[in-house]
Structure 1
Amino acid sequence: MKLNRVRRRRRDLQKAAAVNGDRLSELPSDLLLNILERLDTLDALRACIVSKQMQKLPTMLSQIVIVLDNLQLVRQNSVVADVIDKVLSKRSPQITIRKLRVKLFLTPNDCRSVGKSVGLAMATQKLDAAEFEIVTPKNSYHCKDADLLKFAKQFNAFIADCPEAFSGLTRLQLENLRFGESDIPNILSTCKRLESLCFFECDAGVQSVLHVEHARLIELDISYGEFKNVELVCLPKLQRMTYTWLLDEDPLVLGFVPQLSKLSLTNTRVSDKTLMLSQLLANVQTVSDLYLDFGSEKIWFQPECPRVLAPLLGQLRFVNLYNLPEECDIAWTMFLLEAASFVEELCITLWDHKCGNESQKSYSKKTDVKWEPSVPNFKHKNLAVLIIYGFQSDRNFMGYIRRVMEAAVNIKEVSLHDRKVCKVCTDMFPHVKVCPSTYPRSFEEKDTLRNKITEALVMMTSPAVIHFRS
């Protein structure tokens, strides 16, 4: 019945194309391919049924991308496996596949089918980049320990059945897997061409330690999971590291990572543990982009002496401090400017984003950080942009902006935004009182604040650098 409907639909589309003169057939093939490759491959295949000329184009596509949302994938996972097999098996070996990207549910038969098809294509065709995104039938909120172990066992069977496919992968994204001790090293040794690896809610057991070594990995993203810590032993090409950790431990050990330029760290748990950048970056002096997410909770970095930090932050250009609690005194962030003399942009976001925390009790344990300037009459010659989300017209912000503008003698722009609003937070915590925003609304209020900020500044030539963006 379904097949008949598909055939009738195809005939209707072909008739409509005939009535309109089949204008698509008049376009050159290279232009049609350019159009089709901007679509998800399933949409491109559907488009090809309206024209005889286009029906030959699927075998000529240089990009094969099938990434459905999870609800669609529930219904069409086997369809995806079937399409991948047909498209790859009918291609000319002379046409390079620049990119193959597939999202799949972790169901043994479908995964095995895709793995065999992709492995054969890697052996017989030219394939520049191949990506697998494997999602589990249960999301992380509904997964129990037994589910994590079962899903890991299924994935291990998948990689064992299709080593040819995994040996050529350039990107792998996994979720909700609890591996055995040797499983992750096995994945890394099998995926020899891997350049990007993403783990979400994956680990090798509670309090496990992950040692990572890989010759070609450029990007590593580990979000949540129950690792005690992650040690990057030898990653000579790693450029981007993202880590969100849960346990009250030293989260990350940076070993041989000579090209690491972007480091993103997130901790949303309240603990007594504070980290020191000088220890974290002891072996790394190449970070140019630093992102720290505090989850609207405790400030878990300790201000340090600029003389200690300066040698490690010589390449730092962009700093993003996200989800600071709204009542936090942001003066402590000046220690980064004192130590990192080449920073060009500093972005600070204050936001009491409560729904991201496990409980309101946790949320109430926020602590502040005290800091005293260590460099008299400190000047910063490279900071050009200061961005603040959650700006309020109180002493905390006004004094901070004056201090930064006095120090940053070449600053070009100060962008101030109102606090962010999360409807989920409002619904979950209706009893929590929220102080009314004092962000300026009218032109008069904004001009008054500009004047208050700049009136005590001797070096500033124009208040025009201050912009109210919200």
Structure 2
Amino acid sequence: MAEECGDDRISTLPNDILLNILDRLHVSDAAKTSILSRRWSQLSAKLPRLIINPLPEGVLSLFGRDESRANISDGDLARLNAATFKATKSVLARRDPGQDTIRLLSTMFYLIGDVPISIGHVVGEAMAVHQIEKAEFTILTVKGRDHCTLNDVVNYGKQFVPFFNECRNAFTRLTRLYLENLRFAESDFVSNIFVTCKLLKYLGLFNCDTDNWITLQIEHAQLRELSLVNCRFDKVELKWLPKLTRTTYKFWMSFEDLPLSFGQVPLLEFLHLTTIHFIYHKMVRLSTLLSEICVQDLRLAFKCEKIWVQPEPLTERLAAAFRGLRIVNLVLIPEGHDLTWTMFILEAAPCLEEFYMSVIDHLCEMEYHPVRRRQHLYSAEQKGVEWESPRSDFQHRRLTKLIIFCFGNYIVSHLRRVMKVAVNLMDVYLYDRVACRYCKHINPLNPGRLPRNKKKLNAMRNLLTQDIQSPARIHFLTPSPEMDADHAERSPESFR
């Protein structure tokens, strides 16, 4: 067939289809097709997305994990960096300036040696002559967080500063930036990142801070998503972010009553807060924290430790703070404690449609030894909180889905309580304990396994619905790769 047509079948395809095929390959594999013919060489120079990573995605994910990175030598990382620079320079040099817009230029590399500056210069030069819609830097450190010492993060910060200063022409045009494990001597350096990177739509800071605890005040005209994880700031003030829609703030160290405050963030829809309640932390009143915003999707995670949210009776202030809530997800609630306190959210959020909860003790992450708990300032109080609703006749009319992960017998009474008040509840999804590869050799405190045979499942269903007039369908499920995408995205394992 190829002899009769004078060409192979693939080469007879239109350019847009061939580009679509090449776009799905790792950039190094796509570049290799340039040796096939002049046409293929021209196609490889027109790729709309240039995602340049040291290794193909499947292998790269292994190297990116903290425990795996510890097994890579500095020499291997230097070689990976050199390969990234070579690939970046090669694919950009092959393109004609002013032609074929680059929809995405994404580069991942390690903060080691002089290669980051070389990559920054190449990308900066390309930004000056090519039309680039999205430009991304993912900058990793030699050691992951779990293996970083204080000296490591200080040294990484010292390495990043000259790189940032010398490659400002690249940073000023970035739309996405991820940084990790950096401590800066200058207290205003983090603020300088926001000032310099004016086009950022996403900023992720992981284990980044300054020598002195500061109140980080953020103003940015373009930022749409902000993620702060394990960052040591006294307080974070989101003062003016007119396009911000998503914020994640995990593990604050602040002594303040409220570690986060909101100014002008009119489009904020999603807020994710995670922390461990230490003895110096105060309980957080959501009526105060959320009083200036109108989030629709709220996620609160407790890392199997003390509940840090203060249950509140319904007031005008609380009702205003919860007026826009459509989805609430309470993640990693410690086991064995009364869940009645969660009802205050239902009572204050009349528009709530989906309610997710996961109740589990991850023994692989928890500290049980009393001496070490005192040394690390874990809360010595009972992990649960008490609350009694003053509204005995309360009904909720908008909640349609209730999803509970790690369901056990001790949750039955609370589930019945929710089913009574949620008069239009349509579906209740009860997932068995989520498997944890780190906990699997440790006996769980409260196994709480769902029954396995049909007879026992029917008995459980009858127990849940006894004397309750509810239209809700009860689904008993086991977590799996095939689980509902929305459920998987909100399962406790997605927060590990």
SS at the partner of 2:86?
Answer: helix
Counterpart of 2:356 (choices 311, 325, 347) is 347
* CA spacing shift, 1:360–1:56, aligned 2, 3 Å: farther
Amino acid at match of 2:181: N
* CA spacing shift, 1:406–1:325, aligned 2, 3 Å: same
Which aligned pairs between 1:335-414 and structure 2 lie closer than 5 A?
335-357=344-366, 360-361=369-370, 362=373, 365=380, 366-394=382-410, 397-414=411-428
Offset at residue 273 of structure 1 (A): 2.3
Equivalent position of 1:95 in the other structure:
100
Equivalent position of 1:443 in the other structure:
454
Equivalent position of 1:263 in the other structure:
271
Equivalent position of 1:145 in the other structure:
150
Offset at residue 54 of structure 1 (A): 2.1
Offset at residue 315 of structure 1 (A): 0.7
SS at the partner of 1:336?
Answer: helix
Deviates more, 1:177-186 or 1:361-370: 361-370
Counterpart of 1:288 (choices 289, 293, 296) is 296
Alpha carbons 1:219, 1:241 under 8 Å: kept: yes
> Please, which runs of 5 or more residues in structure 1 have no aligned partner?
1-16
Matched, 1:329 2:338: yes
Offset at residue 468 of structure 1 (A): 0.4
For residues 76 and 423 of structure 1, what CA distance do their matches in structure 2 show?
29
SS at the partner of 1:356?
Answer: coil
Offset at residue 248 of structure 1 (A): 5.0
* CA spacing shift, 1:247–1:405, aligned 2, 3 Å: same
Equivalent position of 1:120 in the other structure:
125
Offset at residue 306 of structure 1 (A): 1.8
Equivalent position of 2:85 in the other structure:
81
Equivalent position of 1:230 in the other structure:
236
Counterpart of 2:314 (choices 302, 306, 318) is 306
Amino acid at match of 1:75: R
For residues 44 and 236 of structure 1, what CA distance do their matches in structure 2 show?
39
Alpha carbons 1:152, 1:177 under 8 Å: kept: yes
Matched, 1:425 2:426: no
For residues 174 and 320 of structure 2, what CA distance do their matches in structure 1 show?
37
For residues 178 and 134 of structure 2, what CA distance do their matches in structure 1 show?
14
Alpha carbons 2:408, 2:447 under 8 Å: kept: no
Offset at residue 146 of structure 1 (A): 2.2
Offset at residue 107 of structure 1 (A): 2.7
Alpha carbons 2:178, 2:203 under 8 Å: kept: yes
Equivalent position of 2:24 in the other structure:
38
Equivalent position of 1:434 in the other structure:
445
SS at the partner of 1:39?
Answer: coil
Alpha carbons 2:33, 2:44 under 8 Å: kept: no
Amino acid at match of 1:380: H
For residues 162 and 248 of structure 1, what CA distance do their matches in structure 2 show?
33
Cα deviations across residues 177-220 of structure 1 (Å, max 9, x unaligned)?
00221211111111010111000000113533222111111110
Alpha carbons 2:45, 2:94 under 8 Å: kept: yes
Matched, 1:63 2:68: no
SS at the partner of 1:375?
Answer: coil
- TM-score, length basis structure 2: 0.84
State the percentage of identical aligned residues.
Answer: 40
* CA spacing shift, 1:48–1:404, aligned 2, 3 Å: farther
* CA spacing shift, 1:315–1:436, aligned 2, 3 Å: closer
Cα deviations across residues 341-375 of structure 1 (Å, max 9, x unaligned)?
00100000011012224564448955211111122
SS at the partner of 1:352?
Answer: coil
Equivalent position of 1:13 in the other structure:
none
SS at the partner of 2:438?
Answer: helix
Offset at residue 23 of structure 1 (A): 4.3
Cα deviations across residues 53-92 of structure 1 (Å, max 9, x unaligned)?
3232221011000234246855321111121112112212
Cα deviations across residues 250-277 of structure 1 (Å, max 9, x unaligned)?
3212222121110000103433521110
Which aligned pairs between 1:193-232 and structure 2 lie closer than 5 A?
193-205=199-211, 207-232=213-238
Cα deviations across residues 96-116 of structure 1 (Å, max 9, x unaligned)?
001111101113421112111
Amino acid at match of 1:43: D
Offset at residue 410 of structure 1 (A): 1.1
Offset at residue 161 of structure 1 (A): 1.0
Offset at residue 457 of structure 1 (A): 0.9
* CA spacing shift, 1:433–1:171, aligned 2, 3 Å: closer
SS at the partner of 2:145?
Answer: coil
Amino acid at match of 2:79: R
Counterpart of 2:305 (choices 297, 312, 321) is 297
SS at the partner of 1:403?
Answer: helix
SS at the partner of 2:331?
Answer: strand
SS at the partner of 2:132?
Answer: coil
> Please, which runs of 5 or more residues in structure 2 have no aligned partner?
64-71, 479-496
Matched, 1:110 2:115: yes
* CA spacing shift, 1:112–1:408, aligned 2, 3 Å: same
Offset at residue 28 of structure 1 (A): 2.5
Amino acid at match of 1:183: F
Counterpart of 2:135 (choices 130, 133, 150) is 130
For residues 405 and 141 of structure 1, what CA distance do their matches in structure 2 show?
42
Alpha carbons 2:433, 2:449 under 8 Å: kept: no
Matched, 1:318 2:327: yes
For residues 88 and 109 of structure 2, what CA distance do their matches in structure 1 show?
11
Alpha carbons 1:119, 1:162 under 8 Å: kept: yes
For residues 193 and 226 of structure 1, what CA distance do their matches in structure 2 show?
25
Matched, 1:273 2:317: no
For residues 118 and 436 of structure 1, what CA distance do their matches in structure 2 show?
53
For residues 188 and 350 of structure 2, what CA distance do their matches in structure 1 show?
43
- TM-score, length basis structure 1: 0.89
